[in-house]
Chains A and B, each alone.
Chain A
Amino acid sequence: MEFEGTAFKYGRDVDTDVIIPARYLNSSDPDHLAAHCLEDLDATFVDRVQPGDIIVAEENFGCGSSREHAPIAIKAAGVGVVVAKSFARIFYRNAINIGLPIMECPEAVDAISAGDTVQVDADTGEIRDLTTGRTFQAQPFPPFLQEIINAGGLINRTREKLGVHDA
């Protein structure tokens, strides 16, 4: 899968309370969550984000609560991929399980500026900053996780493993 879009750049420890504040957790509707994505960190994000855009952040992205509403909000807002120096582990797990592409690549985070046009190949892990012409290579996923990603998320993989077929 390939994405091309504008980079939105944030700092370290972007927590799940700013990704989707708890005052909106009385619903799990993806569109409702997307409408408030990152609202307490960047009030204009929702108005500016376009399908395929890329979030670039420092260490420990998605720390805090286990709310899957956070990666759902980001995905439903149209973000193609999140590139960070590191992810909090529950967010990492949730993103893989629901099929939100994420990548760990400290070099890319240091080099990419907000507003750059960035192209990401989620299959190979190649990140190209089209504004500066620089290319980066993200950490590959272990084969087991790649299997979940290739299946389109944990639910599909579980269905395959259980041999469940639609009636």
Chain B
Amino acid sequence: MARPMTVAEKILAAHAGLDEVQPGQLVECDLDLVLSNDVTTPIAVREFRKIGVPRVFDPQRVVLVPDHYVPNKDIKSAEQAKIVRDFAREQGITHYYEVGCMGVEHALLPEQGVCGAGDLIIGADSHTCTYGALGAFSTGVGSTDAGVGYATGRAWFKVPETMLIRMNGTLKPGVTGKDVILHIIGLIGVDGALYRAIEFAGDAIRSLPMDERLTISNMAIEAGGKAGIIEVDDVTRAYLDGRTERPYTEYHADPDAEYVEVIDIDAADIEPTVAFPHLPSNTRPVREARDVKIDQAVIGSCTNGRWDDMVQAAEVLRGRKVHPDVRCIVIPATQEVYRRCLAEGLAEVFLDAGCALSTPTCGPCLGGYMGVLAAGERAVATTNRNFVGRMGDPESEVYLASPAVAAASAVAGHIALPEDLD
């Protein structure tokens, strides 16, 4: 009988070929997927070449998504994207997504059924932790780990301690997954989960649809977390069934699994929340932030560029106009989300309101392009980081919020709640 284990421990044990693992143990594991993007792939390819093996371990298990600076933002970015494309062709990579098919990687992979419950995934992108919402152990690594992953299909892990964040009760109307995760980061800090896996549990988490769960797991890294896992339930199964290209495996925590820390949160305590510059943990209720005037609103990203996010933003923007002093940029995270925005009338809502509507890209989230800020400018964004210089000039400011709050702020000209517009 193996020791009682958490979901993270069970997935790592299974992929290490062991009956059990314990926190602190160093293990080498077989990987289900190795992911990288147009910023991290060029270095990963350089390191892969140094290893000296001619082929990747499995061309169906290496996933290459140019999304950060594509469609190419400048000549150097074009050269980076070309390295990704050339490598994909050379290696016969099946999961390479060209402009016109691509999306922001962490929205794209779940949507396309590329990843599923029980997977062990490394990605050379810190928000790879997103797939925890599907019941996977997925974690961000650097390019060298990815390059070694291309070659061997393996990676080393220190088995993390798991912390349980349990949220029971009922969320107030207007409180979304984004508000939940900002609230949690505000509570535990940007290193509150450092070196740890998080399991998000409780009725209030289970009450959320998959798109909002993906938002929560996506920002586990903003608390320093190695993974942000939500156990498989009926919502997960309904999302995965008929979608995943490989069979998935459910892992459930043992009732007597050991957690390094248990944090109980009453869902009713959470309000619509905004993170002030320059840390995601610098949170305040939106109602205390109404005096912050903004120059730009960005609605999109791997955090909040999914269908439900577009719907929440459109509900606020329908029949309204973006404030004359504000640029509002809406970026559906994938081609499917974009297409659905067109098919179901959301694109018209955004355009009628005076928003710019962009093809999928990470673009402005990391100050790449499609909405870089000047010195002294402020943006409210549905993205994930508000560090100094994150979206442009080091003298600019980013406020993190939900799609509904970003949309309401775009109309009001300052940080606002949707009900403030009535």
A residues contacting B by CB (< 8 A) are 13, 15, 17-18, 21-23, 25-28, 40-41, 59-60, 63-69, 71-72, 86, 88-90, 93-94, 97-98, 142, 144-145, 153-155, 158-159, 162, 164, 166
Contact = CB atoms under 8 A, between A and B. Distances in A.
Contacts of B242: none
B387 A18 contact: yes
B387 A164 contact: no
Interface of B: 26, 39-40, 42-43, 46-47, 50-53, 68-69, 73-74, 76-77, 80, 123-126, 128, 140-145, 147-148, 151-152, 156, 158, 190-191, 194-195, 221, 224, 226, 279, 366-368, 372, 385, 387-390, 394
A98 B389 CA distance: 26
A97 B52 CA distance: 17
A13 B195 contact: no
Contacts of B42: 28
A40 B124 contact: no
A67 B144 contact: no
Smallest CB-CB A-B distances: 5 pairs: A94-B142, A68-B142, A26-B76, A22-B366, A97-B144
Contacts of B394: 21, 40
Contact of A17 (B52, B76, B387): B387
B40 A158 contact: no
Most chain B CB within 10 A, of A28, A59, A159, A164, is at: A28
A86 B145 contact: no
A45 to B, nearest CB: 14
Contacts of B221: 90
B142 A93 contact: yes
Contacts of A155: 47, 50-51, 144, 147-148
B148 A158 contact: yes
A13 B279 contact: yes
B152 A158 contact: yes
A4 to B, nearest CB: 28
B367 to A, nearest CB: 5
16 contacts: A13-B190, A25-B68, A26-B73, A26-B74, A26-B76, A26-B80, A63-B191, A66-B125, A66-B141, A88-B194, A89-B194, A89-B195, A94-B144, A144-B156, A154-B145, A162-B152
